[in-house]
């Protein structure tokens, strides 16, 4: 058996990666499915992003009166121009990277996205965004249903989830998505080195190949084992990636670096999923200068900018679209503890080398009674159904019919981001 191998030792455990015949076979499947072509990177802001402090109507006096301790001063925002309703907008000062992308014309800011009767529950809210079904949020996810449309056999890495648990959006009855938080630890560990370690891997793969007739629960576990072992080598290729930029040292940027590696190494995944948390800013979120929310913006903006430049440097940007969303936005007025409670509609961001950047939709205006608000002017009222953004991505980016996937026609009114 001719193998190339790398062995690492950690805590006395050798981890082995090797290239066998299987990967080229799998790559053939990937190629047959039109990969590598366009890809979608989904970024979930966990906890409910305070969109009013992400994209700021900094000339709206009510913004300052209703958010006295957390408003970002007009002089600090990164100006992005005026929207269709004449509102002059600016990005949070820590989003310098996103402002650069905006100025390159590659960042679309879709204002007031959401749905009627927005859920205030994190669980239900994220399930609704995941299923694309505000009426019943317990079924499969919109991206899982997209994967279901791909030809069979489905490439095991058709999608790549960088988080530990499978998010609702990627759930599907027939298309499993591997959870690969970190490509460099997604390896086969062994107490031995050299030949013995390689032989263990062969044995483990053979054992997992047992069909377990009459024991479907065991077969299920074998599928998971096999799915892991069979994707190890391709994942290892991603882990051996050297980026063209220095990514910030945090988990979110690390996951983007992993994704960039997968893209650069031609892994061929169509959908990548990552997340950055801490957005449930009920207290002491801070304003423009510093504080918890400014740190969140820094993590988001710096990470995305590194990723964007890294892909651009390698000519990989034109085939990459990134979409950023959260399960809800937050209340218009700050609360008694210098934070904001669960709200309704917010900003979605779509960025990438083929995106038509700009301000889409109209901004909320925060003076009480304004029709862009709801719930006694406590919350932002949605203007663009989030499913129409999904529809645009499915129809115009991933090249599939959005109607069956979204169980409805949401193409009308979709922002023309592509």
Partner 1 sequence: MARLNPEIDHLLRRAGFGISAAEVSTYQDMSFAQAVAHLVDYEGRPDDVDARIGRQDHAQVNASNDRSGGLFSPDIDIDDARQRWMFRMIHSRRPLQEKMTLFWHNHFATGFSKLANESGMLQGAKLLAHKPGVLRGPQGQIELFRQYALGNFRNLLLEVAKDPAMVIWLDGNTNTRAKPQENFGREIMELFTVGVGYYTEPDVYAAARVFTGWNLQPSVDYTNDDYGSMNAYQEFRWRPDQHETSAKTFSFPIYSDGSRTIQARGESAGYQDGIDLINALAMHPETARRLARKFWGFFISEIQTPDPAFVEGVAQVYLQNRTEIRPVIRYILTSPWFTDPSNRFARFAWPVEYVTRSIKEVGWQNLSLDKVRSPMAAMGQLLYEPPNVAGWHLGVNWFSTGTMLARANFAATVAASQKDFLAASLAPEVNSADGLLATMLDRVTPAPLDQGPQQALMTYLLADGAWRGTESELTTRASGLARLLIGCSEYQLV
- Give the residues lining the site for partner 1 (CB under 8 A): 11-13, 15, 123, 164-166, 176, 178-181, 185-192, 195-196, 199-200, 202-204, 206-210, 212, 215, 217-218, 220-222, 224-225, 227-228, 231
The residue (of 235 and 373) whose beta carbon lies closer to partner 1 is 235
Question: Cα 121 to the chain's mean position, in Å?
Answer: 20
Structure tokens that stand for 327 in this block: 């399960």
Residue in 118, 113, 128, 84 with CA at minimum distance from that of residue 384: 113
Distance in Å, CB of 49 to partner 1, minimum: 19
Strands 78-82 and 88-91: antiparallel
User: For residues 256 and 274, what is the distance between their CA atoms, to the nearest angstrom?
Assistant: 8
The residue (of 103 and 206) whose beta carbon lies closer to partner 1 is 206
The residue (of 204 and 245) whose beta carbon lies closer to partner 1 is 204
Contact between 128 and 119 under an 8 Å Cβ cutoff? The reply is yes
Distance in Å, CB of 178 to partner 1, minimum: 4
Distances (CA, A) of 167 to 161, 182, 220, 274, 395: 8, 17, 19, 10, 22
Distance in Å, CB of 143 to partner 1, minimum: 16
The residue (of 13 and 403) whose beta carbon lies closer to partner 1 is 13
Distance in Å, CB of 126 to partner 1, minimum: 12
The residue (of 25 and 123) whose beta carbon lies closer to partner 1 is 123
Q: Which helix (H) or strand (E) holds 384?
A: strand 384-385
User: For residues 356 and 5, what is the distance between their CA atoms, to the nearest angstrom?
Assistant: 44
Distances (CA, A) of 416 to 60, 105, 364, 387: 27, 14, 20, 13
Distance in Å, CB of 188 to partner 1, minimum: 7
Structure tokens that stand for 130 in this block: 């995941």
Distance in Å, CB of 190 to partner 1, minimum: 5
CB neighbour burial string for 284-297, b if at least 16 within 10 angstroms, e if fewer: ebbbbeebbbbebb
Distance in Å, CB of 97 to partner 1, minimum: 29
The residue (of 1 and 412) whose beta carbon lies closer to partner 1 is 1
The residue (of 178 and 268) whose beta carbon lies closer to partner 1 is 178
């Amino acid at each position: 058996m001719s193998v190339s191998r790398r062995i690492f030792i950690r805590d006395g455990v050798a981890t082995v990666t090797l290239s066998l015949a299987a990967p080229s076979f799998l790559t053939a499947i990937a190629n047959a499915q039109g990969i590598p072509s366009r890809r979608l990177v989904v970024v979930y802001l966990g906890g409910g992003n305070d969109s009013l402090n992400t994209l700021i109507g900094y000339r709206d006096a009510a913004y300052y009166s209703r958010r006295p301790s957390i408003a970002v001063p007009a002089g600090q925002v990164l100006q992005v121009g005026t929207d269709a309703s004449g509102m002059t907008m600016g990005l949070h000062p820590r989003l310098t990277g996103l402002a650069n992308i905006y100025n390159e014309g590659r960042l679309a800011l879709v204002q007031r996205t959401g749905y009627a009767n927005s859920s205030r529950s994190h669980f239900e809210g994220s399930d609704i965004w995941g299923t694309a079904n505000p009426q019943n949020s317990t079924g499969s996810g919109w991206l899982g249903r997209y994967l279901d449309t791909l030809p069979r056999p489905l490439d095991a890495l058709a999608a790549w989830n960088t988080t530990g648990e499978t998010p609702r959006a990627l759930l599907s009855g027939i298309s499993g998505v591997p959870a690969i938080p970190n490509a460099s630890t997604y390896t086969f560990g062994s107490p031995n080195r050299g030949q013995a370690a390689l032989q263990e891997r062969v044995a483990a793969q053979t054992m997992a190949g047992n069909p377990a007739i009459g024991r479907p629960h065991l077969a299920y576990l074998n599928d998971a084992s096999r799915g892991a072992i069979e994707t190890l080598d391709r994942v290892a290729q991603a882990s051996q990636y050297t980026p063209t930029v220095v990514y910030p040292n945090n988990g979110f940027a690390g996951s983007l670096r992993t994704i960039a590696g997968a893209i650069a190494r031609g892994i061929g995944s169509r959908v990548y999923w990552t997340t950055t948390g801490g957005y449930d800013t009920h207290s002491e979120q801070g304003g423009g200068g510093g504080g918890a929310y400014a740190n969140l913006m820094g993590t988001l903006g710096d990470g995305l900018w590194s990723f964007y430049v890294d892909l651009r440097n390698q000519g990989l940007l034109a085939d990459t679209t990134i979409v950023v969303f959260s399960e809800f936005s937050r209340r218009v007025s700050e609360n008694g503890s210098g934070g904001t409670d669960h709200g309704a509609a917010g900003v979605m961001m779509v960025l990438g080398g083929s995106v038509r950047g700009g301000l889409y939709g109209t901004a909320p205006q925060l003076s009480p009674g304004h029709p862009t608000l709801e719930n006694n002017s406590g919350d932002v009222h949605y203007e663009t159904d989030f499913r129409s953004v999904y529809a645009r991505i499915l129809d115009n980016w991933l090249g599939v019919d959005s109607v069956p996937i979204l169980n409805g026609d949401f193409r009308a009114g979709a922002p023309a981001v592509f």
